[in-house]
Amino acid sequence: YMRTVQASAFPIFCRRRKPEGKPQGEEQILLDQDAMSRTLPYLSVTLCKISPCHSMLAYTMDTTNTERYTGVVKDVESGKELCVIEDVVSLEFATDGRTILYTKPDENRRPSMVFRRSIIRQGAADDELVLADSDPAFFLDLGLTKDKEFVTINANSKVSSEVRLIRAADPWSAPILVQPRERGLEYFVEHLAGFLVIVTNSASLDYRLITTPVSS
């Protein structure tokens, strides 16, 4: 959850444990934007995500008012920065506790590339390009299915979409294409109990829901 303090426009992101039989535990501050803003000339945080293992926090921040964002991953217990990634648009944790995926923009600020990085190794030189999209109509974004089984690489234009999946527990594996892009075809993917749950406008005047086994 987030809260604010009086006379400050910057939120403070927090969490509480819920001990068994007790209403709530002690508050833990994850990211104090109010404190950060006092030492920076400008601050905008657009993304803030806790890792599936609950031990790391990833966020993106602009400190120059140029809409160029730096991605930061930190240990929530010690507050230590584990890695810093320059010029990112979106990012997503894998579930192995060691890997993060992120998108970077091209010269026109279009998110067009997906990379993965080992948080442990920390070096940008070890980052691996997963996907580069040369079509200027498509923008890349990352997500995680609600059951945390797959990282989704989503390519979206104004009229079409395309999704690739990577096993979240095996984030260095090759991405799997769900359906090649077609003009006018839009679809969005979730996962449940071995099935892909897809909302699509295929063969429909409106959107419809279909399922298919992951194995297919």
What does the pLDDT read at residue 124?
Answer: 63
| Integer Cα distance of 54 and 18 in angstroms | 14
What does the pLDDT read at residue 205?
Answer: 80
Provide mean pLDDT across the span 164-175: 97
What does the pLDDT read at residue 28?
Answer: 93
Tokens of 106: 């091209």
pLDDT tens digits, residue range 56-97? Answer: 999 999 999 999 999 999 999 999 999 999 999 999 999 999
pLDDT band at residue 215, thresholds of 50, 70 and 90?
confident
Task: Work out the mean pLDDT of the chain and round it to a whole number.
Answer: 93
Whether 43 has a pLDDT exceeding 90, the answer reads: yes
Residue 210's identity, in one-letter code, is I
CA-based end-to-end distance of the chain: 39
What does the pLDDT read at residue 13?
Answer: 96
Q: Going by C-beta distance under 8 Å and a sequence separation of 6 or more, which residues neighbour residue 33?
A: 10, 11, 12, 13, 43, 45
Whether 153 has a pLDDT exceeding 90, the answer reads: yes
Tokens of 28: 């833990």
pLDDT band at residue 17, thresholds of 50, 70 and 90?
confident
